[in-house]
A and B are shown apart, each in its own frame.
Chain A
Amino acid sequence: MRTDRVVIPRPFGGLSAFLWTEFLVQIHEELAMATSMIVQGVLLVFVWVLNPSLIGVALLGAVVFSMFTMGQRVLNEAAYVRIDHKASDLYLASPLTPEAYFLGMSAGVLLVYLPPVVAVAVLAELVVHLTVGVALLLLGVSVAVWISAASIGYVLSTQFRDNRAIWAYSSLFFNVFGVLPPVFYPIGLFPSELRPIVLLMPPSAAAALLQRAIGSATLPAWEVALAAIGLAVEALALFLLAVVWARRTVRSN
């Protein structure tokens, strides 16, 4: 057996195989899939009842919110398999790279929970008639929100020793940041002094850009720039943080 020649795995080595593993793991959770759109559904009904003219905003918001809560799933999944299954020991003491473990898990979760989100996006298209530009923007901000949320989720997951503590925090965190700021309702209804804050939060920044694109919000140029650049920089920075974090936390202290 040759052990004199080390082949250090490439960055992200093992990504597609681990993504596939996580996909198989998730696809069996029919109940979780069935209930994954409940919060969005309820909020859409509220908006429909209270002000049907805002349903386009709410549908796009539902897509953004769904991408954001993928982070909650990553947080719960990463912590659960590490604490209850010791899956991280099995997979990380191996040539599979830690960053592939993080990203593969996140992408596997995404793949399974994406179809209903796509359905909502199609519904949005039917209601609002998205231009190609808006559709591309929707795609772009969705990716950015997902990357941010999955990265936050993975980083947070490493901080817990007990799953029960997480479940409470994670639903609080992801629901509050996804529901309270203007994601399902127009940013114009939000107090203007506080707008810079919500424009720096990935879900509400994404929603604001979409609302502006479909003409449901008017933002000064500097706010557009704040939201767009902020979202892009945050997504990139959080992703890099999660990669570095994943590598560092293979070993505990």
Chain B
Amino acid sequence: MSDEALRSTELRKIYRSKGAPAVTALAGVSMDVRRGERVALLGRNGAGKTTFLRIASTLLRPTSGSIEVFGFDVDRTPEKVRPFIAVVPQEGKPFFHLTPREQVYTYLRARGFGRETARSRTEESLERMGLTEFGDRLSITLSGGQRQRTMVATVIATEAPLLFLDEPTIGMDPFARRGVWDSLRTLTQRGSTILLTTHYLDEADALADRLYIVERGEVLVSGSAEDLKRAVGGTLKVSMPQGAGEIERFRSFGTCVADGAGLTVIVAPERLGELMALAVGSRLTATVGPVTLEEAFLYVVGRSIDAD
């Protein structure tokens, strides 16, 4: 039995539609997700994240390459894969004329769960997503974030072996997002595997064991958030709101990014004192903080865009 929950090899997808040029959405993506892992797919708009998730979840056919879920070929035997997966689609919405309680419960029943299990999972899931208070209101009367919570509640209630979540926390407040993170952690502790996409890099940092950064249908880098941050060349960042004009004097310390009048320098801890002395000498206000995944992302993807 395969140890991998998901493995793709040289997966390619070219969208062809009448009267429009062909679009290469995936240009040979190879990745693997081990059982029990939480993996995040990051990338700019149009990078190919949704395309990958849709192929992996049996909703879209690849152009070439192969992809397996729990050892079953997704393209050749999708019906063997479907019992193991659950999907939060990008921009999905619950049925407007069901209440969150009905939405989750009927979904579980449609997936074949018995009444008792469906009922108790529904309550647990609503509770986790903070929906108990709204559980009996039609979804049409809920706010955007509450609807999105209903979608996530619907899918996590399945405790499926492999969950695909496409921007699951979009539009959620910080409390709700943390609720989702906790639930996803609990699910992986219970044995599920999770592949998600997100544009919130703090979320990827907090949640994912490993990340894949995709750009124009190709994997740019993969690894843990820490690996990625190290790749930027330092673990600290110094921000100087008025420093852009002095950028040349700071180049020797590490990566420098000018943004309007401001300047950000990525620096190794050993050289921080020296840099601060220079900043003070230049009468610049400087604040020090840790490098975030967002900066690592901007650095890695920015470098790839520049290279073209």
Contact = CB atoms under 8 A, between A and B. Distances in A.
Interface string B227-240: 00000000000000
B115 to A, nearest CB: 10
Nearest to B190: A1
Interface stretch (A63-71, A80-88, A171-179): A80-88
A81 B1 contact: no
A100 B95 CA distance: 18
B78 to A, nearest CB: 7
Contacts of A253: 60-61
A252 B93 contact: no
Contacts of A20: 106, 109
Contact of B112 (A9, A28, A84, A85): A9
From DSSP, what is the main secondary structure of chain A's interface residues? loop
Contact of A93 (B82, B91, B97, B110): B82
A17 interface: yes
A28 B72 CA distance: 41
A178 to B, nearest CB: 26
A4 B96 CA distance: 37
Contacts of B85: 93-94
A94 B110 contact: yes
A8 B83 contact: yes
A250 interface: yes
A96 B110 contact: yes
A91 interface: yes
User: How many of chain B's residues touch chain A, expressed as a range?
Assistant: 35 or more
A250 B78 CA distance: 10
Nearest to B155: A90
Contacts of B88: 90
Nearest to B85: A93
B59 A28 contact: no
A25 B91 contact: no
Interface string A49-93: 000000000000000000000000000000001001111011111
B65 to A, nearest CB: 15
B98 interface: yes
Interface of B: 1, 54, 57-61, 70, 72, 78-80, 82-98, 102, 106-107, 109-112, 138, 151, 154-155, 158, 161, 164, 190-192
